[in-house]
A and B are shown apart, each in its own frame.
Chain A
Amino acid sequence: MRVALFATCLGDTMFPAAPKATVQVLERLGCEVEFPAAQTCCGQMHTNTGYRKQAKSSVRTFVDAFAGYDAVVAPSGSCVASVRHQHAMVADGDRKLGRAVAEVAPRVHELSEFLMDVLGVTDVGAYFPHRVTYHPTCHSARLLRVGDRPLRLLRAVRSLELVELPAAEQCCGFGGTFALKNPDVSVAMGADKARHVRETDAEVLCAGDNSCLMHIGGLLSRQRSGIRVMHLAEILASAEGADR
């Protein structure tokens, strides 16, 4: 199967381990992965901050880069939700762009959705001998309704001990520019999330969005908790004797 990877601007620039791991997992499962080089960003930062007109350039770039692919996969529930839910809003009034969005958006999948719904795989052949807890990010959970897909994928990882995160459904407080516009509330929410993570005694906090992990991980790091944050794709890409 020919699959286009949407690395996301944050993944591409700050957290390349997640898109790399996504490529590894997909190739291991027999997919032919392409990286359309013209891609940039989903435009969510602009849309959600109220700069809808400025989001248009990203949306246009996105549909141009991914037109013609049967499937697009991204290691981010939030960016996929933005594509599927917000691109039509951004295109509002621009019929040509609206048609392109309607064409592309339904083919864009978040990683766990793609693995389980399209490829029909739960056990991706991973090995990760660590104690892991999982945070269901808001956009994965509420906008995409990925449900327990990530948990089922993690449970199938050999030697991985999955521990439940208390109050998992509560937002971590990242919220895009919310983290900068309301830093005190954002940190208060994140501090509670970090406390719950520490309570699990996990070695690794896992999620499907590097944006939320950047926020929670930034707090855990400042607190010198010793807990690592890892993207779901990175854990699924881990294999016994693998090079990473």
Chain B
Amino acid sequence: MPAFPQAAKQELANSQLRHNLANATSTIRHKRAEVVGELDDWAQLREAGAAIKSHTLSNLDTYLERFEEAVTAAGGTVHWARDAAEANRIVVDLVRATGEREVVKVKSMATQEIELNEALQDAGIDAWETDLAELIVQLGHDTPSHILVPAIHRNRAEIREIFQQEMGKVGTPAPADLTDEPARLAEAARRHLREKFLRAKVAVSGANFAVAETGSLVVVESEGNGRMCLTLPETLISVVGIEKLVPRWQDLEVFLQLLPRSSTGERMNPYTSTWTGVTPGDGPQSFHVVLLDNGRTNALADEIGRQALRCIRCSACLNVCPVYERTGGHAYGSVYPGPIGAVLTPQLRGTTSEVDKALPYASSLCGACYDVCPVAINIPDLLVHLRTRVVEEHRGWQSKPMDALMSMASWVLGDSRRLAAAQKVASLSRRVIGRKGTIGRLPPPLSRWTDARDAPAPAEETFRTWWERNRGSDSR
């Protein structure tokens, strides 16, 4: 996987992708703005959301223990996983203990993050995604490129093609006369999934929220496919990041307003499922929660960085991000793409790989993401914070010339006489590089600017010189 600048270049060349993304993100952006505008107390709700999450994160140890007690009291079992490998091992063992060879899945970012489907496959267990978009991605042997709309990069014609070629290989095939009408595509997916829902004995989910006081888990969704998985099977295994906790049942009041308006631009999401332990004769009779760290405590240890753990995965920041809109999610090389991915992933994984080092720089710092974030994560400041970390941890990485240039510039800009001397050199260069006021193509590395943009020539006379010439006596 190449780092963002190279990966983005490839994606930018795909005009169909850019068209699909621009359409989808602008539609959802406008929908969100409309429904958020309806609430007079949005600012207060946002503040409350941020405050509840910050409080929980500051007392996470207490709330995690309280959650475990409540789940256990309700007849469920809590498992603790330090990393992806441990979480996958726990889930594989739990499925094996049932004797089953397949699971149905509720859309879950946590299981994407730990690559659970791959781990299950290695253990000879089939994992079927049941969220429509995840199904499209899975059947297409593809990876999601958006948190909420994993198949955002695909259009209807492509989806029809995938359904016709792939559904029959793993279950009920698509009808031979399938068209690319949304209703027909949904019908094909429903037939394909129904067989799996009715057969599966084990389901795997994530959770949008985990309530400490009651031990309850919450999943919000638009299709109802998740609810099928949460109610029909005999065994339910939920993989939940430790940052998903909220202290009280009452706190959901805030988040169930913030989340749907921010993510799908709806006043309320169509399906909200909550479950607590097991209830004899109703729903799964065996229930497990796998609480996942996988780098979250690293982020928690960083006083500035920890605000990224407030994220409720609404994806509003992706939909307003001008960088995401043009490159799509695959360019980020991260399960969490877009602005939130650029700040979350380097904290979860560290900044040793080329991909992770480049992520904090995959933003123009325009600030649109901070404006829409329902839990007020200051993503631009966080990006700058992480850039500082990358520079300090990897001096020399940004190429020696960049380090040298920045040190030189720092020296020049530290003193006005040194700046004035540098300006004299720049003004002189005007005689060599152009008197017209603009400069055309230059050799590398300056070609990074001039390949597509003319550059301005340094001014004939700097402001400083002009001022001295005209008002010399006034300056101090």
Contact = CB atoms under 8 A, between A and B. Distances in A.
Interface string A167-206: 0011101111011111111111111000000000000000
Given A13-B426, A35-B474, A189 B456 contact: no
Given A51-B406, A61-B415, A19 B365 contact: no
A24 to B, nearest CB: 12
B456 A214 contact: yes
Contacts of B416: 37-40, 61, 65
A231 interface: no
B411 A57 contact: yes
Contacts of A129: none
A139 B364 CA distance: 11
A16 B12 contact: no
A14 B456 contact: yes
A12 B462 contact: yes
A50 interface: yes
Contacts of A190: 452-453
A71 interface: no
Interface string A33-57: 0111111110101111111101101
A182 B11 CA distance: 13
A217 B449 CA distance: 12
A41 B370 CA distance: 26
A15 B110 CA distance: 50
A28 interface: no
Contact of B365 (A9, A65, A178): A178
Nearest to A182: B5
B9 A184 contact: yes
B459 A176 contact: no
Given A171-B322, A182-B323, 12 more contacts: A14-B459, A34-B475, A37-B464, A57-B414, A138-B364, A171-B368, A173-B322, A178-B364, A180-B448, A184-B12, A189-B322, A218-B456
Interface of A: 7, 9, 11-16, 19-20, 34-41, 43, 45-52, 54-55, 57-58, 60-61, 65, 86, 89, 138-139, 142-143, 169-171, 173-176, 178-191, 214-215, 217-219, 221-222
16 contacts: A12-B464, A14-B459, A15-B456, A142-B366, A170-B322, A175-B365, A179-B448, A181-B361, A183-B451, A185-B5, A185-B326, A188-B326, A190-B453, A218-B453, A221-B453, A222-B452
